[in-house]
Amino acid sequence: MKKIIVIGGGNAALCAAITAAQHGAKVIILESAPKELRGGNSQHTRNMRTYHPKPTKTLVENYPFEEYYEDLLKVTKGETNEELATLAIKSSVDLYYWMESLGINFQPSLKGTLSLSRTNAFFLGGGKTLVNREYQIAEDLGVEVLYEHEVLNIKLSNNEVSYLEVKLPNSNIEIFKADVYIAASGGFESNREWLKEAWGEHAKNFLIRGTKFNQGKVLKSLLEQGVQKVGKEEQGHAVAVDGRAPLYDGGIVTRLDCVPFGIVLNEEGKRFYNEGEDFWPKRYAIWGRLVASQPNQVGHVIIDSKSFDLFMPSVFEPTKADTLEELAQKLGLPIEQVIKTIDEFNGAVVDGEFDLTKLDNCKTEGLDINKTHWARRIDTPPYYGYTLRPGVTFTYLGVKIDKNARVYMEDGKPMTNLFATGEMVAGNILSQGYLAGIGMTIGGVFGRIAGEGAANV
């Protein structure tokens, strides 16, 4: 019986482990987190972008391959691996039905996410329920799950994995060996030292939206031993989150959806980008980066009471004041500059018909940075302010794989007994930008391919 070790415990790792076990292999999962915190970033996800030619139980209408591929090209500005992207998209529908056949439940798109009801399959109860079910299936198939087993090093020789150095729950280090290995242990977004190396000192002000266990140790170990890398260190998926979010695991509730309804000021009290460029789901991914490039990596959304009920509530109380002066003071912003910026903004607003369901004709004219939609004067107290910080979701630096999920060395040779999936390979398809829910698609599709490939080596 073939022995396979899967490194990591999120959706990609579990899809790989389940598939390998279904093909008759003896599978061991090494998950660095304890059981209560298992599942990597998958436990924070809510959906999976899924190509489908006809409606499913929960996905409406259809989402043709061509449209999905175009959506991907738009966010990556055309830079993707066509072969792998095509494979991931085409296989996403099979992944959906495979999951359904395993008893994984989906639900219709959530309130306030209508724009995704056609493209993204939502997991009932979210990613944690998905991961719970996947662990149950894996265990039912005889997969052995070892929690708090952190892989520190993956030793290679001659295009082959020789063994793993694993830190056990009692902190001892032990050698683990198998016939085949599947690396699915995520990116390096939780490793603050590495983030600083990649993005500069200001990365200290970044919040990490997901698990603290994605330290990138396996990734680093592979890249140091001549495995071919894909993606750039400074690329990843980051959004603007509430500045008061926890350092790790803040997840979905820390996001702020109010940007299109107000203006965003930096620490100097000045606007720095068109807040009404497009619908928020299409733009929120760029705001992490926008805020990251401002002084002290902070932005402040200012809205008035007209807009307060228009967006998903935030988990943290807004700063509230009856005058703009008071609000600026409470937010610690230069009062005079804030008043000046808002006066200029209010003066430039062209009245239109406000309509949050479409790109409306409320805009400003004559400013250096105009707001092109949903622009309304900020003049109705009470005023509210929310502080934004960059929240990193995941990094794109990864290892090069082929359509069989096999890992490649820098010299162009495939490794004989190593496959990879998940965040670790997302950079093969996502060079930049992000398309909501595609991370789960990539992990699941290449997880299944890796699992089958590993069982048949």
Partner 1 sequence: MFNKEDNLLRLKDASRAMEICNACRYCETLCPVFPQITQFRTFDEATLNYLSNLCHNCKGCYHSCQYAPPHEFNLNIPKTFSELRVDSYIKYAFPNILGKLFAKNGTVVSIIIALCIALLFIAGSYFNSADSLFTAYDGKGSFFKVIPYEVMTLVSALIFLHVIIAFIVGFRRFWTENGDKMSELTDLSLWKYAMGAVATLKHLDGGDNGHGCNHMDDRFTHSRKWYHHAVMYGFILTLISTTLAAIYHHFLGLQAPYDFDSLVVITGALGGILMVIGCVGLTYIKIKADPIPISQKLLGMDYSFIAILALVNITGLLLLVFRDGIYMPSLLCIHLGFVLAFFLIMPYSKFVHLLYRLGALLKYAKYVKNN
| Site residues, partner 1 (CB under 8 A) | 36-37, 43-44, 46, 103, 105, 107-108, 110-112, 123-129, 132, 135-136, 246, 249, 251-253, 309, 312-315
Q: How far is the CB of 62 from partner 1 (least distance, A)?
A: 22
- State which residue, 109 or 432, has the beta carbon closest to partner 1: 109
3-state secondary structure the chain: CCEEEEECCCHHHHHHHHHHHHCCCEEEEECCCCHHHCCHHHHHCCEEECCECCCCCCCCCCECHHHHHHHHHHHHCCCCCHHHHHHHHHHHHHHHHHHHHCCCCEECCCCCCHHHCCCEEEECCCHHHHHHHHHHHHHHCCCEEECCCEEEEEEECCCCEEEEEEECCCCCEEEECCCEEEECCCCCCCCHHHHHHHHCHHHHHCEECCCCCCCCHHHHHHHHCCECEECCCCCEEEEEEECCCCCCCCHHHHECCCHHHCEEECCCCCECCCCCCCCHHHHHHHHHHHHHCCHHHCEEEEEEHHHCCCCCCCCCCCEEECCHHHHHHHHCCCHHHHHHHHHHHHHHEECCCCCCCCCCCCEECCCCCCCCCCCCCCCCCCEEEEEEEEEEEEECCEECECCCCEEEECCCCEEEEEEECCHHHHCCCCCCCCCCCHHHHHHHHHHHHHHHHHHCC
Minimum CB–partner distance for residue 136 and partner 1 (Å): 6
Q: Output 122 or 176, the one with its CB closest to partner 1.
A: 122
Per the listing, tokens 């009801």 go with 117
- Of 130 and 324, which CB lies nearer to partner 1 in the complex structure? 130
> Residues near 129 by Cβ (< 8 Å), separated by ≥ 6?
105, 123
| CB nearer partner 1, residue 199 or residue 384 | 384
Nearer Cβ to partner 1, position 146 or 312?
312
Report in angstroms how near the CB of residue 241 gets to partner 1 at its nearest.
Answer: 11
Nearest approach in angstroms of CB 47 to partner 1 is 10
Q: Which is nearer to partner 1, 316 or 354 (CB)?
A: 316
Query: How far is 226 from 307, CA to CA, in rounded Å?
Result: 53
Cβ at position 184, least distance to partner 1 in Å: 20
CB 393 within 8 A of CB 239: yes
Least spacing, CB of residue 36 vs partner 1, in Å: 6
Nearer to partner 1, 314 or 431 (CB): 314
Q: Please name the residue that has the structure tokens 């439940």.
A: 105
Q: Which is nearer to partner 1, 253 or 457 (CB)?
A: 253
Closest approach of partner 1 to the CB of residue 430, in Å: 23
Nearer to partner 1, 309 or 368 (CB): 309
Measured from the CB atom, the residue of 223 and 253 that comes closer to partner 1 is 253
Please state the closest distance from residue 254 (CB atom) to partner 1, in A: 8
Nearest to 18 by CA among 27, 9, 30: 27
Gap between the Cα atoms of 457 and 444, Å rounded: 20
Q: Quick count: other Cβ atoms within 10 Å of Cβ 317?
A: 9
Q: Minimal distance in Å, beta carbon 108 to partner 1? A: 7
Residue closer to partner 1 by CB (options 201, 309) is 309
- Closest approach, Cβ 124 to partner 1, in A, equals 6
